[in-house]
Amino acid sequence: MKLNKLTYFSTVLLLSSSLISCEDFLDKEPPSYAVPEDYYLAEDQLQAVANKFYSDGLLPSHGNWSYGTFGTDNNTDNQAGFTADNKYTTGQWKVSLENGNWAWTNIRNINYSLNTILNNYEAGKISGSDTNIRQYIGEIYFFRAYCYFDMLQKWGDLPIIKEALPDNNEILVAANQRSPRNEVARFIIEDLDNAIAYMTDNFDAKKNRLSSDVAQLLKSRVALFEASWLRYFNNTPFVPNGEGWPGKAKDYNANYQFPSGSIESEIEYFYTIAAESAEEVAGKYKGRLTQNTGLVPQSESDPENPYFSMFGNTDMSGFPDVLLWREYSEGLGITNNIEIAVEKGNYGVGLTRSMVQGFVMADGKPIYASHNGFTFNDESLANVRKNADPRLFIFLKEPYQINMFKNMDSQKDHGVEIEPYPSILTSDGENGYSTGYSIRKGGTFDKAQTGNGAGYTGSITFRATEALLNYMEAQYELTKNLSSGHILEYWKAIRTAAGFKGIAIDPQTTIAATDISQEKLDWGSYSAGEQLTDPVLYNIRRERRCELMAEGLRWMDLIRWRALDQMIDEPYFVEGFHLWNTEMQNWYDANALIADGSSAATVSSPSLSEYYRPYQKNMTSGNLFKDGYTWHMAHYLQPLPIKQFQLTSSDNASPELSPLYQNPYWPTTADMPAEK
């Protein structure tokens, strides 16, 4: 097999002049002169095309001067930064005039490359190994699916564009017709099926390239997303044919019928695909999940904890359940700052009280349940970690822990050897602690990784455990039977790998001890504004939340569950650690704890809560979040920019004359907030 060494998303100069974004419509076909006539005719050229899509940042990976992918769950109930997101207040998120995120460049570029390659391949014009050629074709199919899925989460209904469009106004305008979201999901799944058919298992032993397992995993993610969206938004404007669905006003969607006959059948269709594709991956890896020993190494003599090391290793190829990862290189200047983030304040990323208390205890029971020999106590970080879920125990930092003990002769100088008290009194991006709860996920204890902007730990893009979680949820949503299929088998496999022992491995221990009314801090306990009544379903969501903490999937889960409605009527207050009336209060100079609600305040007032509230320090009128988070239904989707309506309208002015339609509860006037 011919493989050029690839540092996951290697930099390849490819058609740079031809892939220039066009602002109008859905982007136009690249000019013919920009591509050599003999391109797309050799295996190495196809590899260069595929490599370019890796290097373009289509897939999530660590950026520099940040906590990388571990910070992506900021602005959810899991994690909070120094500043809140405007989507949680009224009147600040507005319809834009310009294109904003309505960007089709990646889709256009992929279509152009894919269509050209397929035409040449079918004509037998491409030289080289057929196995390799097919692998690269499969990868490009995957990239189109991934880009479309990203857009589906943002926009819902979308134009389905399979070709690089010609520079023809009539064709471009017509192409803006939005297909119902479930049809978009079906198209994505079709692309992933093609990717699976073309790609080869174990093509890249290092797992820096896509594989059929990755495509199957994404297929399960897409299907689960769409199934749950259709279920929880049923009978609303957010689903095709729901009451007030804006697509109904357009002739091309006016008589739309679900391919399966009804929305209920469509929901079942997607849940079934989610379960089946997840099982394809889960069945391979259920007995090969990386094991958490429950140990946080504190010296060179301590044994390694494989589960801990998996997230911060420089070479992740040896972990069976890591399906795709990005490799970094100090020598090539492809670096990140993950270790510095871990040894300081995570670059303004902190766990919330909700996230910390969402974990069960080591006995498998929620924090409020009756425990044998101990009670939950959060009056110090040491106490929070004591008797905790083994995953929380290893990933929640505690003062006086040793942050680095490897390569101590290194000259790198941005590390912090001993973990300090969390610095909540500063909003300094590098050193401040946003909630008091800081994260060790991705850490290495390696001083050589603490050069300023010069770390080179890998970045996990997909891991197999998600497949087990996807299966559990999809199968349970289909059957409402905990004993159905492999639900219990997979759940116990996850718990075992997580480090639980004895009865705590059995999720029924957790389910029996769950009181959902005490889980109100967890947004995942809600759908459509009401708390769940099914403790099994809730705990499937809980397990997913805890296992995937800080891995960038929380927002996707929250919106597909419709888990934010409750904040329309009842504000939500983001809280961090238990500051007031605990020993942790004494960590700080009393004179520095200014809690008067002024613009100069450094902490939130104990009269509001004993828990630190990062967005309620300043209680003056200038703080948009002083009264907590609020929500608007429109905010489940992004608004289409007005420029697109103007460009596609027959008079270049009137939105109603465009084939496009605005998303629910967003106006068709620029610089206006949501209507509901």
Residues in contact with 537: Cβ distance below 8 Å, sequence separation at least 6, in sequence order: 476, 477
Give dist(CA 584, CA 603) in Å, integer: 13
Nearest C-alpha neighbor of 350 from the set 435, 226, 454 = 435
- Is 90 exceeded by the pLDDT of residue 2? no
* 587-635 pLDDT, tens digit each: 999 999 999 999 999 999 999 999 999 999 999 999 999 999 999 999 9
Say if residues 223 and 270 touch (Cβ distance below 8 Å). yes
Residue identified by tokens 């997101």 is 85
pLDDT at 37: 66
Nearest C-alpha neighbor of 346 from the set 446, 451, 419 = 419
pLDDT at 482: 98
Q: Give me 239's structure tokens.
A: 């689903």
- Is 50 exceeded by the pLDDT of residue 28? no
pLDDT at 38: 79
The whole-number average pLDDT for the span 650-656 is 94
- Is 70 exceeded by the pLDDT of residue 106? yes
Give dist(CA 47, CA 31) in Å, integer: 22
How open is the CA angle 150-151-155, to the nearest 5 degrees? 135
pLDDT at 284: 98
For the entire predicted model, the pTM comes to: 0.95
Give dist(CA 288, CA 303) in Å, integer: 20
- Is 50 exceeded by the pLDDT of residue 9? no
pLDDT band, very low/low/confident/very high, at 643 (cuts 50, 70, 90): very high
* 473-514 pLDDT, tens digit each: 999 999 999 999 999 999 999 999 999 999 999 999 999 999
Q: Give me 663's structure tokens.
A: 């998303």
pLDDT at 424: 97
- Is 80 exceeded by the pLDDT of residue 99? no
pLDDT at 29: 43
Give dist(CA 476, CA 99) in Å, integer: 40
pLDDT at 19: 32
Say if residues 460 and 310 touch (Cβ distance below 8 Å). yes
pLDDT band, very low/low/confident/very high, at 164 (cuts 50, 70, 90): confident
Q: Spell out a b/e string for 499-509, using b for 16 or more CB atoms within 10 Å of the CB, else e.
A: bbeeebbbbeb
Q: Which helix (H) or strand (E) segment is 324 a member of?
A: strand 322-326
Residue identified by tokens 């079934």 is 272
Nearest C-alpha neighbor of 638 from the set 660, 659, 666, 661 = 666
Say if residues 659 and 173 touch (Cβ distance below 8 Å). yes
The whole-number average pLDDT for the span 429-445 is 97
* Single-letter amino acid, residue 219: K
Tell me if residue 448 falls in helix, strand or coil: helix
Say if residues 638 and 101 touch (Cβ distance below 8 Å). yes
Residues in contact with 515: Cβ distance below 8 Å, sequence separation at least 6, in sequence order: 366, 368
Say if residues 329 and 465 touch (Cβ distance below 8 Å). no
Give dist(CA 442, CA 372) in Å, integer: 33
The whole-number average pLDDT for the span 12-30 is 38
- Is 50 exceeded by the pLDDT of residue 18? no
pLDDT band, very low/low/confident/very high, at 201 (cuts 50, 70, 90): confident
Nearest C-alpha neighbor of 69 from the set 465, 545, 558, 461 = 461
Beta partners for 463? 322
The whole-number average pLDDT for the span 71-84 is 97
- Is 80 exceeded by the pLDDT of residue 585? yes
- Is 60 exceeded by the pLDDT of residue 34? no
* 262-308 pLDDT, tens digit each: 999 999 999 999 999 999 999 999 999 999 999 999 999 999 999 99
Give dist(CA 54, CA 51) in Å, integer: 5
Distance of CA 375 to the CA centre of its chain: 33
Q: Which helix (H) or strand (E) segment is 47 a member of?
A: helix 43-55
Instruction: State how beta strands 526-527 and 459-463 pair.
Output: unpaired
Instruction: State how beta strands 350-351 and 79-80 pair.
Output: antiparallel
* 394-427 pLDDT, tens digit each: 999 999 999 999 999 999 999 999 999 999 999 8
* Strand runs labelled E in 487-574: 526-527, 530-531
Residues in contact with 37: Cβ distance below 8 Å, sequence separation at least 6, in sequence order: none
* pLDDT above 70: percentage of residues in the chain: 95
Provide the mean pLDDT of the chain. 94
* Single-letter amino acid, residue 502: G
* 538-567 pLDDT, tens digit each: 999 999 999 999 999 999 999 999 999 999
pLDDT at 11: 27
Give dist(CA 307, CA 47) in Å, integer: 33
The whole-number average pLDDT for the span 116-123 is 97
Give dist(CA 358, CA 516) in Å, integer: 11
pLDDT at 13: 28
Say if residues 67 and 338 touch (Cβ distance below 8 Å). yes
Cβ atoms < 10 Å from Cβ of 481? 11
Residues in contact with 637: Cβ distance below 8 Å, sequence separation at least 6, in sequence order: 154, 155, 156, 238, 663, 664, 666
CA distances (Å), origin 498, targets 234, 483, 525: 35, 21, 22
End-to-end CA distance of the chain: 56
pLDDT band, very low/low/confident/very high, at 35 (cuts 50, 70, 90): low
pLDDT band, very low/low/confident/very high, at 32 (cuts 50, 70, 90): very low
- Is 80 exceeded by the pLDDT of residue 36? no
